[in-house]
């Protein structure tokens, strides 16, 4: 094709890691030609807010986290709503669904994760949705608006499932959550925290069924009407949300011949197995310093930092990524919860716990080799930042460990030398 376009930098994807990547490239190189290609049509938006948008808590215009003229100001060519069907690293070329081809100097793959859809009979019926993208939210909202949805079943009790269930309950839809594990939010909370979160959902009218699987979705006239559980019991439902989880989207990288494990394999420069192809965000495996190995860690701050590191290196400014500490923060019907690092204590770890007398505030900290390796907070997360800082720094906490779970943990609970390290600046006296 004679008019084949060439870009110095090409980014596939348009979420957190992609936006961080393009901003980092522009920090270093103001002139190089830069393009973003994404199968999503929308301007960059904050995906954790889409459940709030569904319930009406957050207006649609608040979803976007960059101004409308962002791409123009950054001198970025955008190809939104455009699918890449092939990536050819040897030829420095990508092929679009339209048949158009782009040449690139450096490529960033930031295509995120894809929802896991279990092989449940009936999952293809009208009224069955996943819920990870803005387009999913629009489809669900439209379906609710045009169908007589009285009952909904959310399959999965992770973070997406909890937030969708909460949104549906706010829309006065009778909502049931079905979770295979013993408790909800099993990837983010321990048994006690999970129980507190469940109680909160139930107090807000959401039925929670754990330790069971949804085995089929029944329907009529091509539309979902019920969900059948392992026990044989049937839940009426005109709307079913599959929220079983998300896995790294590695298909493009695999087809391009890049090294892939559970996610795309990258080094600390976010470079893949090809010298001119980088990857960042939920499609990759990120280094977890607490366990000393790489694994998929789908968190927003990690994706942003990875994108920034990739962008800097693509533009020729050396930067490296030190790794991500897993962190999950979610409000469950107004109950704040947060976990940082490991949620199960490693063998031989010391466990510190605090539970308030009204059982509304819970804290748990794991200490191994004199440093914190994990912490959970439910009901009061104001001081979680202090604990997170101690984990990140790998600080020896043995001399003040008993202060860590105090009800009013604050900077003054910490040794003076650490306070000086944590907080400094004009007018600050610690």
Cα(151)–Cα(239) distance, rounded to whole angstroms? 7
Closest listed residue to residue 239, CA positions, set 323, 129, 364, 371: 129
Cα(216)–Cα(219) distance, rounded to whole angstroms? 10
Q: Is 340 helix (H, G, I), strand (E, B) or coil?
A: strand
Answering whether pTM is above 0.95, one says: no
Task: Give the residues across from 256 on adjacent strands.
Answer: none
Domain 334-422 has CATH 3.30.390.30: yes
Burial class (CB within 10 angstroms; exposed 0-12, middle 13-18, buried 19+) of 254: exposed
Provide the CATH number for the domain formed by 117-244 in this structure.
3.50.50.60
Cα(387)–Cα(170) distance, rounded to whole angstroms? 33
Q: How many CB atoms lie within 10 A of CB 293?
A: 10
Q: Is the dihedral of CA 249, 255, 256, 258 positive or negative?
A: positive
Q: Residue 142: which residues within 8 A CB-CB, separation 6 or more? A: none
Three-state secondary structure string covering 155-218: ECCCHHHHHHHHHHHHCCCEEEEECCCCCCCCCCCCHHHHHHHHHHHHHCCCEEECCCCEEEEE
Contact 412, 369 (CB under 8 A): no
CATH class of the domain comprising 5-113+247-314: alpha beta
Burial class (CB within 10 angstroms; exposed 0-12, middle 13-18, buried 19+) of 424: exposed
Q: CA angle, 319 as apex, 315 and 320 as ends, to 5°? A: 135
Burial class (CB within 10 angstroms; exposed 0-12, middle 13-18, buried 19+) of 165: buried
| Residue corresponding to tokens 């959310």 | 154
pLDDT tens digits for the chain (430 residues)?
A: 445 889 999 999 998 999 999 999 999 999 999 999 999 888 888 888 899 999 988 888 888 888 888 999 999 999 999 899 999 999 999 999 988 899 999 999 999 999 988 889 999 999 999 999 999 999 999 999 999 899 999 999 999 999 999 999 999 999 999 999 999 998 889 999 999 999 999 999 999 999 999 999 999 889 999 999 998 999 999 999 999 988 999 999 999 999 999 999 999 999 999 999 999 999 998 776 666 666 666 666 778 899 999 999 999 999 998 877 778 888 898 899 988 888 888 888 899 898 988 888 899 999 988 888 889 999 988 778 888 888 888 888 888 787 777 665 554 455 555 544 444 333 333 2
| Residue corresponding to tokens 């999970």 | 194
Please state the domain extents for the chain.
Answer: 5-113+247-314, 117-244, 334-422
Task: Give the residues across from 284 on adjacent strands.
Answer: 264
Burial class (CB within 10 angstroms; exposed 0-12, middle 13-18, buried 19+) of 295: middle
Is there a shared CATH topology between the 5-113+247-314 domain and the 334-422 domain? no
């Amino acid at each position: 094709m004679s008019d084949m376009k060439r870009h110095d930098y090409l980014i596939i994807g348009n979420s957190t890691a992609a936006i961080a990547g393009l901003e980092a490239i522009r920090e270093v190189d103001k002139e190089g030609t830069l393009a973003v290609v994404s199968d999503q049509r929308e301007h960059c938006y904050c995906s954790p807010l889409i459940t709030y948008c569904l319930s009406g808590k957050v207006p649609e215009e608040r979803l976007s986290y960059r101004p409308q003229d962002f791409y123009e100001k950054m001198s970025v060519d955008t190809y939104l709503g455009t699918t890449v069907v092939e990536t050819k690293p040897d030829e420095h070329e990508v092929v679009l669904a339209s048949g158009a081809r782009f040449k690139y100097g450096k490529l960033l793959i930031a295509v995120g994760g894809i929802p896991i859809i279990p092989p449940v009979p009936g999952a293809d019926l009208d009224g069955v949705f996943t819920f990870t993208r803005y387009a999913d939210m629009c489809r669900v909202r439209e379906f609710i608006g045009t169908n007589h949805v009285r009952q909904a079943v959310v399959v999965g009790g992770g973070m997406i499932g909890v937030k969708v269930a909460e949104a549906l309950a706010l829309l006065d839809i009778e909502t049931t959550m079905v979770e295979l594990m013993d408790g909800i939010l099993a990837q983010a909370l321990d048994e006690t925290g999970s129980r507190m979160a469940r109680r909160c959902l139930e107090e807000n009218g959401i039925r929670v069924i754990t330790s069971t699987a949804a085995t089929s979705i029944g329907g009529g006239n091509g539309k979902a009407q019920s969900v059948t559980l392992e026990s044989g019991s049937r839940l009426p439902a005109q709307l079913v949300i599959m929220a079983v989880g998300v896995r790294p989207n590695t298909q493009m990288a695999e087809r391009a011949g890049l090294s892939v494990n559970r996610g795309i394999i990258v080094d600390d420069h976010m470079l893949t197995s090809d010298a001119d192809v980088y990857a960042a965000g939920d499609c990759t495996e990120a280094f977890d310093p607490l366990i000393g190995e790489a694994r998929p860690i789908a968190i927003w701050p990690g994706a942003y930092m990875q994108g920034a590191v990739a962008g800097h290196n693509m533009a020729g400014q050396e930067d490296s990524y030190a790794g991500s500490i897993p962190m999950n923060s979610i409000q469950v019907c107004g109950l704040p919860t947060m976990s940082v690092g490991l949620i199960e204590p490693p063998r031989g770890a010391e466990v510190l716990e605090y539970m308030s007398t009204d059982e509304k505030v819970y804290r748990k900290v794991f200490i191994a080799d004199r440093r914190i390796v994990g912490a959970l907070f439910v009901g009061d997360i104001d001081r979680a930042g202090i604990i997170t800082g101690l984990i990140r720094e790998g600080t020896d906490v043995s001399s003040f460990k008993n202060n860590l779970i105090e009800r009013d943990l604050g900077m003054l609970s910490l040794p003076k030398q650490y306070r000086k390290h944590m907080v400094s600046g004009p007018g600050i006296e610690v």
